[in-house]
Structure 1
Amino acid sequence: MQGGVMAAVEVILLCVAVSVWKPQRVNGEVCAAETLSHSDAGFCHGRLEVIYPELEISSCSVIPRGQHLRDKISREWGPPRVRLAGAETAKKYALMMVDPDAPSRCSPTRSHWRHWLVVDIVGSDLKKGDIKGLVLSDYRHPTPPQGTGLHRYQFMLFEQPADKTLSLSQEEKSSLGNWDPQAFIQRFGLGKPLASLQFLTQNAKDE
């Protein structure tokens, strides 16, 4: 109960926070500024790397406005390379990508939107950034709706138990929104993420 209260307080504080660095507003409320909050910056750990054609992300960050990067990441570029230099060659890993801010951070009624889910990733491939595992949910571009401010896109990597076969239930397959990643994690005993990374971006037309 206490954890739920704290999470609600964090959302409220985020929505009323004011930044001197061009705050993003949704229906008059400030939902996120173009700088990382302490909690957003603290999400990343484990030295995970996400690599797009013109963009390498190795720490929590906001996608820059310049060079049409926000437009390219939303429409042009396909699945990124994901690399963990310290992956163990013989082990298998599971990777998920979610948007906890669907349709907006101030009103996340469709959280968590599942953007990508790959399991059975062999460590030797992960070390090279070559994701060849079993795709349970196809990659979906980060496409924040216009006027909804910055969205977080979170990548979480788990060491996969050797005796588990990971899959989505029929109910989970029926919808990308309102997915419960924690229930999936608990169902297969994945534990805490071995590494995690997130970037923030918004609809390119809002720039």
Structure 2
Amino acid sequence: MGLLLVVVLAALLPGVAAQGLWPDEHSHICTFHSLSGKDSKFCRGNVEVIYPELGDVGCTYIPSCHQSRWRISREWGSPQVRYPQAKKNKKYVVMLVDPDAPSRANPRNRFWRHWLLTDVPGSELRTGEIKGRVLTDYTRPTPPPHSGYHRYQLLLYEQPEGEHIALGPEERVSMGSWSLRSFVGRFQLGSPVASTQFLTKHHED
């Protein structure tokens, strides 16, 4: 997304106004602010994270309009993840983590594992409808109140051929304080082929 994108939802979503999706809001214009500085440099490889009505949220702040922050935390399920450059004959590992648990100023529980899939066919990544083998069920981004913005980082790795990837007993017990580096090293995943992130905070802040 560009430096400052303005999406006219009424134009992109025909019938939204008529259906009264947001009955107490008169404006159907949502302003997306792109990440900058170090946060923007995390976004590499053109992988897309697509939520309903928002579209690709990669490298942006989740906007406050239309209850988007509430809906991403309480209503919407797992996003589509699309990577057009995926190789059809390869499998991939997809993970979504929060490095800012419980806050960016004090991330003592990093990384919080929100989603982990293995054996994702490249053909599925090309369309965005990924399934794969679920090691960690999708958990919605739910930043605690007054904890500021949290980064939700999606990393995409090419899975080594024939490698069976699994979480250890201790990793299965808790999704917090996860050693991402140890996991990546254990299964020789190398560097991610693509990565992106979005930032959001508690919907009442």
Q: Could you tell me the TM-score, scaled by structure 1's length?
A: 0.81
Give the aligned partner of residue 71 of structure 1: 70
CA RMSD of aligned residues (A): 1.2
Secondary structure of the corresponding residue to residue 205 of structure 1:
coil
**Letter matched to residue 86 of structure 2:** A
CA deviation after TM superposition for structure 1 residue 36, in Å: 3.3
Give the aligned partner of residue 187 of structure 1: 186
CA deviation after TM superposition for structure 1 residue 37, in Å: 4.3
Give the aligned partner of residue 45 of structure 2: 46
Tell me, in whole angstroms, the C-alpha distance in 2 between the residues paired with 1:197 and 1:168: 23
Give the aligned partner of residue 94 of structure 1: 93
Give the aligned partner of residue 139 of structure 1: 138
Secondary structure of the corresponding residue to residue 74 of structure 1:
helix
Asked if structure 1 preserves the Cα contact closer than 8 Å seen for 2:82 and 2:129, the reply is yes
**Letter matched to residue 49 of structure 1:** E
Q: Pairwise mapping of residues 11-160 of structure 1 onto structure 2 (< 5 A)? A: 36-57=35-56, 59-160=58-159
For structure 1, list consecutive stretches of 5 or more residues without a partner in the other structure. 1-33
Runs of 4 or more off by more than 3 Å in structure 1?
A: 34-37
Q: Could you tell me the TM-score, scaled by structure 2's length?
A: 0.82
**Letter matched to residue 167 of structure 1:** A
Asked if structure 2 preserves the Cα contact closer than 8 Å seen for 1:145 and 1:203, the reply is yes
Tell me, in whole angstroms, the C-alpha distance in 2 between the residues paired with 1:73 and 1:125: 23
CA deviation after TM superposition for structure 1 residue 59, in Å: 3.6
CA deviation after TM superposition for structure 1 residue 184, in Å: 0.5
Give the aligned partner of residue 23 of structure 1: none
Tell me, in whole angstroms, the C-alpha distance in 1 between the residues paired with 2:36 and 2:85: 28
2:203 is the alignment partner of 1:200: no
Give per-residue Cα distances to partners, 1:13-68, cap 9 Å, x unaligned: xxxxxxxxxxxxxxxxxxxxx87341101000000001111112264111111111
**Letter matched to residue 49 of structure 2:** V
Tell me, in whole angstroms, the C-alpha distance in 2 between the residues paired with 1:96 and 1:129: 14
Give the aligned partner of residue 22 of structure 2: none
Secondary structure of the corresponding residue to residue 39 of structure 2:
helix
Asked if structure 2 preserves the Cα contact closer than 8 Å seen for 1:50 and 1:57, the reply is yes
Tell me, in whole angstroms, the C-alpha distance in 1 between the residues paired with 2:72 and 2:57: 16
Tell me, in whole angstroms, the C-alpha distance in 2 between the residues paired with 1:179 and 1:139: 15
Give the aligned partner of residue 175 of structure 1: 174
